[in-house]
Structure 1
Amino acid sequence: MRTSSGLVRGLGLAALLVLAACGGGPRAAQMEQSSSAASVIGPRFGAPQLPRFGDAHPVEWKGLSPMFHPVHGIDVSRYQTAIDWPMARANGVSFAFIKATEGGDRVDPAFAAHWRAAGEAGVARGAYHFHYWCGPASTQAAWFIANVPKERGAMPPVLDLEWNTASPTCATYRPAPEVVRTEVQTWLNTVGRHFDQTPIIYTTPDFWERNELWKLQGAEMWLRAVTRHPSEAYPDEDWTFWQYSGTGLVPGVQGPVDVNAFAGSEASWARWLGARAL
């Protein structure tokens, strides 16, 4: 039914339950890593580690816990003013999505510093753009391209799709779903061509449902679901990344931070990263 090109269809409830029944879970997934997977990650990124994260507002997961997934990361912006990237990596941060741009004329003031420091620490990183609905996608795509380096090893670019509730000009503007999808497709096509990457879409349950984002072509999904597994919050949707908390506590990061899980095992993370990194 859904046409997204994400990694898994909710990772498969039955498969995870079998894994748990066999004494599996994250530590069992660690054992899956093969020598070929390790060679794909290589010395720059190192092997993923199970996260040693806390949470300022922990959730009692009634369904599938984020800890079923062994590969975790963070997403950051100017609000994370101080990050010890080597410490964060040592405590389970395998990847980071870093805010780069907003609309057609704003650059996150911390982007350059976060981008450089994460790379130096060997954390796989990708840049994201926060979309404004009162400006054309073509302009925003050009702005992102102008401000984000095309670097070897970078993860795919990300388009953050939410309503602009804090914007003085865009806060109440809600284009029709077909207009939203047309604008999104323009950004995906333009940015994807430039970076030679299939972009990733980040979104929330209400935005995804209202705008029927499953109809889009040519993107992987990064889904926010802070009280439920994505298989519950986004029925039948394929996904690659799951943002499971906005109040994570990560050693090396000052204050709460968004935390995320990759859909697959350590071995599949190595394959995914090797196939998509520039």
Structure 2
Amino acid sequence: MKTRRRSPSRSKNSGLTTFVRVARFSALAAMALGLASCAIAPSSSSRYPAKGDARPHDGVATAHRLPIHGVDISKWQGDVDWASLRQAGTKFAFIKATEGGDHIDSKFHENWQAARRAGVPRGAYHFVYWCRPAHEQAAWFKRNVPADPDALPPVLDVEWNGQSVNCPKKVPREQALAMIDVMLREMEAHTGKRPIIYTDITFHKEILEGEFNDHPYWIRSTAAEPHVRYNNRRWTFWQFTTTGRVPGVKGDVDRNAFYGTDNQWRMFVASACDPRDHSRLKPQGICQDMDAIQTASIDE
């Protein structure tokens, strides 16, 4: 094949054209990178500019616009700087306490006291082990978790333990519901506060749809808004990422959001009830009193 030689003038013009094209491409590329950086950087108007996510997902973007954010903590977060956590805007923390009938998180008591000293409202959670009788698990929780009147309501964490070496099985729906009922009643009797139910998409679909509607729900949905993943379930707390970044914690931490406004959060802390349920549950002795100013704006 023959190669046609270009004239010197054409070669010179071609080189100039190529230079211009490269320069334009570089400028556009730099602009695109700048825009991308702006898209993932914390907004100057963000309520929590110091917090982030190692793997953000567009499907949960609305969680970042909710005003009340918190974390859940266990031994896997290592040593937590609770003062820094609070300074970053953390409004609450759920701390792992117990699991099954014989396991306590090795960092529970340390985290429980440190959170209180830092002024971070906190609640304790129990992780259900489906191979242990419910009454034994409830007794273990009561033995190890203080009945602190200033604490948030306790949490019952119900999900399948598929990764468990000793107890990976599922139990029948009727058995699971009966176990949950026992533990919820015992935890409420111990703390004086109606427990929150934490669950994930699969367990809710298989066991919890339509059940325990007088309890606040804390649901896990890290790739879509809750209504997309949960059928007809009103939620109070939303765990929207497991790869959060928060000052005071090294590495990944679960980030969570409360459904409502700042005032509704104050009502929740004061009454230990979802404000939307206060008028219905208060006559049953479940919710604590709120002052008139708080109650007047309960539906804001």
- Common fold, TM-score beyond 0.5? yes
For 1:22-171, list aligned pairs within 5 A: 50=48, 52-61=50-59, 65-171=62-168
Deviations 1:74-118 (A, max 9, x none): 001000112111111111211000000010000000001111111
> How many Å separate the matches in 1 of 2:106 and 2:84?
23
> How many Å separate the matches in 2 of 1:86 and 1:175?
42
Conserved? CA contact 1:51–1:92, under 8 Å? no
Q: Quick one: which amino acid aligns to residue 262 of structure 1?
A: F
TM-score, normalised to structure 1, is: 0.79
Residue 219 of structure 2 aligns with which residue? 223
Deviations 1:159-210 (A, max 9, x none): 1111112322211x11111111111011001111121111001000011001
SS for the counterpart of 2:77 is coil
Q: CA RMSD in A?
A: 1.8
TM-score, normalised to structure 2, is: 0.73
Conserved? CA contact 2:218–2:238, under 8 Å? yes
Q: Which runs of 4+ in 1 moved over 6 A?
A: none
Q: Quick one: which amino acid aligns to residue 146 of structure 1?
A: R
Q: Which has the larger radius of gyration?
A: 2
Q: By how many angstroms is 1:217 displaced?
A: 4.9
Q: Quick one: which amino acid aligns to residue 56 of structure 2?
A: P
List alignment gaps of at least 5 residues for structure 2.
1-44, 274-287, 289-300
Is 1:176 the counterpart of 2:149 in the alignment?
A: no
Aligned residues: 230
> How many Å separate the matches in 2 of 1:168 and 1:51?
40
> How many Å separate the matches in 2 of 1:182 and 1:108?
25
SS for the counterpart of 1:186 is helix
Q: Which range moves more in the overlay, 186-195 or 117-126? A: 186-195
Q: By how many angstroms is 1:50 displaced?
A: 4.0
For 1:180-219, list aligned pairs within 5 A: 180-219=176-215
Q: 1:58/1:106 Cα in 2 relative to 1: closer, same or farther (>3 Å)?
A: same
Conserved? CA contact 1:54–1:248, under 8 Å? yes
Q: Quick one: which amino acid aligns to residue 89 of structure 2?
A: G
Q: Quick one: which amino acid aligns to residue 229 of structure 2?
A: A
List alignment gaps of at least 5 residues for structure 1.
1-26, 31-48
Q: By how many angstroms is 1:266 displaced?
A: 0.6
SS for the counterpart of 2:76 is coil
Conserved? CA contact 2:209–2:231, under 8 Å? no
SS for the counterpart of 1:166 is coil
SS for the counterpart of 1:239 is coil
Q: By how many angstroms is 1:51 displaced?
A: 6.0
Higher percent of residues as helix: 2
Is 1:255 the counterpart of 2:236 in the alignment?
A: no
Conserved? CA contact 2:63–2:257, under 8 Å? yes
User: Kindly, what percent of the aligned residue pairs are identical?
Assistant: 42
Conserved? CA contact 1:247–1:258, under 8 Å? yes
Conserved? CA contact 1:73–1:96, under 8 Å? yes
Conserved? CA contact 2:209–2:233, under 8 Å? no
- Where relative contact order (Cα < 8 A, 6+ residues apart) is larger, the structure is 1
SS for the counterpart of 1:211 is helix
Higher percent of residues as strand: 1
